[in-house]
Amino acid sequence: MTGFADLISWLCLIAGSVFCIIGGIGLLRMPNFWTRTHAAGITDTMGVGLILVGLIFQAGLTLVAVKLVMILAFLYLAGPTAGHAIFRAAHAYGVPFAALTTGVEAPGENSDGSD
Least Å from the CB of residue 56 to another protein: 14
C-alpha to C-alpha distance for 70 and 17, rounded to whole angstroms: 21
Is residue 36 classed as helix, strand or coil in its secondary structure? helix
Closer CB to another protein, 17 or 80, in the complex: 80
CA 13 to chain centre: 16
Comparing CA positions, the residue from 95, 100, 49, 94 lying closest to residue 76 is: 49
Least Å from the CB of residue 60 to another protein: 15
Mutual angle of helices 48-59 and 3-29, in 10-degree steps: 160
Closer CB to another protein, 3 or 97, in the complex: 97
> Contact residues for another protein (CB under 8 A)?
19, 22-23, 25-26, 29-31, 34-35, 37-39, 41-42, 45-46, 49, 63, 66-67, 70, 76-77, 79-81, 83-84, 87-88, 90-91, 97, 99-105, 107, 110, 115
Least Å from the CB of residue 3 to another protein: 26
